[in-house]
Structure 1
């Protein structure tokens, strides 16, 4: 009897507690629902909060799967849903719907979407217990969306930005090329397929894959594109047309009008790799995109790429309703300081020899020429290169893929004007004082086997600075460096920016005094004074260090973009006007009286300095001499040109290079 009474008591207590439990308001339920909405917990929203009428109309496919797919496809992020509360005095009648303004905001691939819509909650009994439930329609995804309406997304491709030179000559532009392909019904011979595959650098299997596509098989009279090439590849285009059933037609394509002459500087674009796509997919790249692969195309990718336009729209039977739209923003037009015509003339003057050239405006520091020779055809890389062709380029002894203007080389005697400037500014070198130097070699008593050798022992004594420049006398500069002292030479070279990073848009190997920046012996000091030993100079920096001789002591930062400020001072007070004039006169005499007669032009009074340096690898002599020449027009110094040609031992040494520079000036000023 006691057990029965206890059971009745507990049951009554539970009933009383349940009756006293506070009923959830529609506002409470909506707050819970919106919290799940913001967390995109669509399945729980559907199961626990939608009313029966909504569930009967819209299944989980329409509510859960579709919303999740739209979030993924449209790139929906930062979803923020709120509602307007009813206020403290609000009363809710179970027989009446409860309406709340709901605010929805989100970011999509096409930009932000924001709207407000009234959401209704209805009181319904479910399993003998009542509660408030949401009445939902697809309009809470997007306001104009109705059941069965497809949501579409379309992309408007942004045009890639273009590169131009200082005179608005095109360097990398969105032009046209030729799409090579076949008409299947006329392209029927297997032998022709093999011949075409060989011409295009493809396999027969690759051609078959293109021809086996469904859209091709449904209409064999259509043109099927297989490959692309540039408009000027006339030899290939003519060979293709000799095969029955082939044709080519115009297609959009990146163009590099100056080709090999600017190849290392401009670079090229190519299809994005799987590795790049994995890294850049969040930035909107797709597997169909091209991307800068080398040179400025790669370095300026962010500015050149542009931003594709995107439109999200609802495709109704009678109209299209735009949900969000972002206009395409084309990549930038970027102008370089480069003079493309001067660059091309310089490249041609180098006759395909291995080397590098740079030219700068002494008054501004602007780069007018920056090239590595030989170059490569950027179109070959842009359009896709066969492994066989790439191996051919890699094995070429002239190394056309190697960017020499980014490297540093022993500058040889081209550094002597700088050594002279350092000694004159230190007061240890009197340009008018002659030294008596006899014989071909010279050494101090304690140097052991090390000796300084000069090329022209016939130079008449006494040897002053002018003769030392004209005869490029290593012994004179070795003696002067010892006179000024090791610290003065090192500090002087550092003042010309040896041993520091070159402040430039592109990464260039720094010039160096030595491997560790110091000079540890008198022999090394002597070598350094005439540009050998462990000294290295980047070709652009080498042109730059001659600036102070023309600007009375100022060396400007080298620039490459026309938008950069001109005449940014990099180094100052390097040489006095008086000393600079003395060195300039000596460099003019190098051309008139010295051993750079190849640059002694009739109408252009060049001044400059030659140099020859032994190329060393891992500290060992290779027997290869690199020739240098740095020159400018002494009557009108619009630019300073520095040129290096590798392995000039059989070509009259640095005089060979002087001839190339002279040819450049003559052609450019024709």
Structure 2
């Protein structure tokens, strides 16, 4: 029993000795480091020595760390402290340890080593170790009274150029217009009214700008920015008392409306955009691409902002971290800006789209959407009246038509013919007896008929092309059969997302669940849909021995890439290509107006009717696509909306022929 009591007493003494043992300084500092890595600054403060606490309050300590880490965008904080194997400092009153801190910042990585001093102090009748903190713990070069500076250098936005180096989106200047309030005198009301009219902004907006809290009589108050080539407005503004103008940097779009939908424009970043892009280095001061290629390639064009973190002391600066500015990348396109402008001008404001391509290389030479808007004004900011006019315009100038898909109408027929020939559903020289202007396969179609414009019988493939016979191609699709027809269309890229820099709607087949839908699809109606790029691409096999060439838009991309081998068989190419030439040369051909002496064109017209049901009159989209088979370096296609009562497909035929004459 006595032996048992002795053992218990010995154990109690050992436990008591352990409880009274003072904490080791290295363990105490390790706990401090752990809190630092967790950024629990308020708890870190409790580890500070008495003298350190006299130099900074808990609130100041916590808020300073939080503000610095937030402003400098500190991430991946890693503070390392390696405990020494043998530490005799526990028996002393002071201890010193080295630690290393690594972190990423908005200006790049920050890495430093520093020596921490600890003191043994007695608080609440207990001795413990406390960190003798100073500002060097934040950054070694930071001393009391020093300030941390953060400066940025904006990158120069990369320019967008055409194939010849012509600027489509370049960096230039615009004119900033404003007033000096103190120089308005007693003519303020008159001047405000004049400026409201000339700058197309409300009087209320001007009064609001003039009444801002920072405004002083001698200060310049900016009101609006206008293009430098708006000479008429500038001359009128310069005659107004108190008006001041100055040139400021801006994005300039030399080809204006002609390339607006393709190139797009830049504008101030919105709160929603910033929320999405902040992690990629964007700031509230950035301009971002709003449409077109400016938006698609915004990150490449934007470049990287230069950032420098400094410690300011005694009028001098010491660099803590620096990330050099990187200007945006220049983007060169395959587009010919002058051809783009010629096509746009020839469309004369008609609603529609057009494109141009080198069918042997796949280079996109033009992508046009009409009508359009001035991207220079869009970048500077539309006035309320300008924006209202654009939105209320029935021709929808804000719509990017070349990215959209449409029923192709009869320009679909060479595709149908190629598929039917490959499947031996038609024989080129064989004539088909077709009577009248309407036809249905059987009475099971009810009141539905396929109609045609030109009556001829019998009809072979050549005549069907020349007269654009809907009935012939409807029958060809039916003889081909749904499965073979769909398989053939997929060779031409239908139902596939296009690997193309500008996002385009994919060409679609739709439902071919009935004989009627299959027949209609054979001549480009039904639910068949194509965009202007996919249409031109579908014609490239005609000049590439049946291979379909991948369309490209960037000058650096590989040319003449085969997208689909033998989209057309060589026999189909040999059959169809001469017939498309006949569409232009034959006196009865639908594209005879495109017959240019000395410049042989081959092509196809099309009229796609947009209506809800048969028997009612719908709007019509007119199509024309053509190329020179002897010198196949330029293929152009155009679609014009609402051509009913204006000549149908002859509207784009005449427009595109004028462009070919200029560029032959």
Q: Is the 8 A contact 1:490 1:519 kept in 2?
A: no
1:442 aligns with 2:439: yes
Deviation of 1:318 (Å): 4.1
- 1:344 has 2:345 as partner: no
Go from structure 1 to structure 2 and tell me whether the alpha carbon gap of 1:35 and 1:482 turns closer, same or farther (over 3 Å shift): closer
Shift of 1:620: 8.9
Pairwise CA distance, 1:622: 5.1
Where 1:546 maps in the other structure, the secondary structure is helix
Deviations 1:358-411 (A, max 9, x none): 222222323222221111111222112233322211111211112211222221
Give, in whole Å, the separation in 1 of the partners of 2:140 and 2:612.
Answer: 72
Equivalent position of 2:75 in the other structure:
77
Alignment partner for residue 655 of structure 1, among 650, 653, 656? Answer: 650
Matches within 5 A, 1:252-263: 252-263=249-260
Match of 1:554 in 2: 547
Structure-1 residue corresponding to 2:3: none
| Aligned partner (choices 464, 467, 470) of residue 463 of structure 2 | 467
Partner of 1:395: 392
Question: 1:192 offset after TM fit, Å?
Answer: 1.6
In the alignment, is residue 41 of structure 1 matched against residue 34 of structure 2? no
Q: Which moved more, 1:52-61 or 1:129-138?
A: 52-61
Counterparts of 2:434 and 2:15 in 1: how far apart (Å)? 121
Query: Which residue is equivalent to 1:507?
Result: 503
Does 2:559 match 1:577? no
Distance 1:443 1:60 in 2: 89
In structure 2, what is the Cα distance between the partners aligned to 1:619 and 1:141? 78
Tell me whether 1:536 sits opposite 2:529 in the alignment: yes
Aligned residue runs from structure 1 range 318-397, under 5 A: 318-397=315-394
Secondary structure of the residue aligned to 2:378 is helix
- The answer to whether 1:406 aligns with 2:394 is no
* Deviation at residue 485 of structure 1 after TM alignment: 3.4
The 1-side partners of 2:26 and 2:163 are apart by 66
CA distance in 2, matches of 1:80, 1:211: 50
Q: Secondary structure at the match of 1:527?
A: helix
Classify 1:193/1:625 alpha carbon distance in 2 versus 1 (closer, same or farther; 3 Å).
Answer: same
Which of 619, 629, 634 is the matching residue for 1:639? 634
Counterpart contact for 1:598–1:656, Cα < 8 Å: no
Give 1:280-319 correspondences, 5 Å limit.
280-319=277-316
3-state secondary structure, aligned to 2:121:
strand
C-alpha change, 1:633 and 1:135, in structure 2 (3 Å) is: same
Instruction: Give the aligned partner of residue 93 of structure 1.
Output: 91
Alignment of 1:580-659 (within 5 A): 580-593=573-586, 594-616=589-611, 623-659=618-654
- Distance (whole Å) between structure 2 residues aligned to residue 185 and residue 448 of structure 1: 81
For structure 2, which runs of at least 5 residues remain unmatched after alignment?
1-8
1:520 paired with 2:517, answer no
1:297 deviates by 1.5
Compared CA separation, residues 69 and 588, structure 1 to 2 (3 A): same
Q: Distance in 1 between matches of 2:645 and 2:34?
A: 81
- Give the whole-Å Cα distance in 1 for the aligned partners of 2:144 and 2:459: 97
2:27 is the alignment partner of 1:31: no
Q: Cα 1:604–1:64, aligned 2, differ >3 Å: closer, same or farther? A: same
Residue 478 and residue 185 in structure 1: after superposition, are their counterparts in 2 closer, same or farther (change >3 A)?
same
Residues 491 and 91 (structure 1), Cα distance of their counterparts in 2 relative to 1, 3 Å cut: closer
Q: Deviation per CA, 1:315-348: give whole Å up to 9, x if none.
A: 1114211111111122221122222221111111
Task: Give distance in 2, aligned partners of 1:56 and 1:480.
Answer: 94
* Corresponding residue of 1:417: 414
Q: Which residue of 2 aligns with 1:109?
A: 106
What do residues 620-659 of structure 1 show as CA deviations (whole Å, max 9, x unaligned)?
Answer: 9552111100100222111221110011123222112111
TM-score normalised by length of structure 1: 0.91
How far, CA to CA, are the matches of 1:39 and 1:498 in structure 2? 55
Which residue of structure 2 lines up, in the alignment, with residue 493 of structure 1? 489
Cα distance in 2 between the residues matched to 1:168 and 1:519:
50
- What is the CA–CA distance in structure 2 between the aligned matches of 1:262 and 1:337, rounded to whole Å? 13
State the shift of 1:451 in Å. 3.0
Q: Distance in 1 between matches of 2:533 and 2:427?
A: 30
Deviation at 1:462, TM superposition (A): 4.4
Task: Tell me if the contact between 2:370 and 2:401 (Cα under 8 Å) persists in the aligned partners.
Answer: yes
Q: How many residues align?
A: 649
- Cα deviation, residue 89, structure 1: 5.6
Deviation at 1:547, TM superposition (A): 0.9
Partner of residue 6, structure 1:
none
Q: Does 1:196 align with 2:189?
A: no
The CA distance in 2 between the partners of 1:468 and 1:578, in whole Å, is 18
Between the aligned partners of 1:430 and 1:366, the Cα distance in structure 2 is: 34
* One of 164, 188, 191 as aligned partner of 2:161: 164
1:476 aligns with 2:472: yes
Select between 285-294 and 71-80 the one with higher mean Cα deviation. Answer: 285-294
Matches of 2:121 and 2:343 in 1, distance apart?
A: 86
CA shift at 1:227, angstroms? 1.0
Measured in 2, the distance between the counterparts of 1:270 and 1:231 equals 18
Deviation of residue 252 (structure 1)?
Answer: 0.4
Q: Distance between the aligned counterparts of 1:544 and 1:50, measured in 2? A: 73
Deviation at 1:108, TM superposition (A): 1.2
CA distance in 2, matches of 1:209, 1:448: 68
SS in 2 for 1:653: coil
Residue 273 (1) aligns with residue 270 (2): yes
What is the DSSP-based 3-state SS (H/G/I as helix, E as strand, rest coil) of the residue aligned with 1:226? strand
Instruction: Give the Å deviation of 1:576.
Output: 2.7
Structure 1 residues not aligned, in runs of 5+: 1-9
**Is the 2:448–2:614 contact (alpha carbons within 8 Å) kept by the matching residues of 1?**
no
Q: Which of 613-622 and 591-600 deviates more?
A: 613-622
- Which deviates the most, 101-110 or 61-70? 61-70
CA contact (8 A) 2:360 2:632 kept: no
Classify 1:533/1:213 alpha carbon distance in 2 versus 1 (closer, same or farther; 3 Å): closer
Within 2, Cα distance between the matches of 1:463 and 1:68? 83
Cα deviations across residues 258-300 of structure 1 (Å, max 9, x unaligned)? 1111111111111222222233334333333221111221222
TM-score, length-scaled by structure 2 = 0.92
1:210 aligns with 2:203: no
* Secondary structure of 2:290 counterpart: strand
* 1:588 CA displacement: 1.1
C-alpha distance in structure 2 between counterparts of 1:378 and 1:618, whole Å: 39
Distance change >3 Å, CA 37–CA 456, structure 1 → 2: same
Question: Which residue of 132, 135, 141 corresponds with 1:135?
Answer: 132
Aligned-partner SS, 1:112:
strand
Alpha-carbon distance between aligned partners in 2 of 1:321 and 1:619, rounded to the nearest angstrom: 79
Say if 1:77 and 1:443 are closer, same or farther in 2 by CA, change over 3 A: closer
Residue by residue over 1:233-256, the C-alpha shift from the partner in whole angstroms, topping out at 9 and shown as x without a partner, is 333323333432223221100111
1:511–1:59 CA distance, 2 compared to 1 (3 A): closer
Q: How does 1:216-255 map to 2 (within 5 A)?
A: 216-217=215-216, 220=218, 222-255=219-252
Deviation at 1:91, TM superposition (A): 4.9
Q: Classify 1:187/1:286 alpha carbon distance in 2 versus 1 (closer, same or farther; 3 Å).
A: farther
The 1:90–1:426 alpha-carbon spacing in structure 2 relative to 1, beyond 3 Å, is same
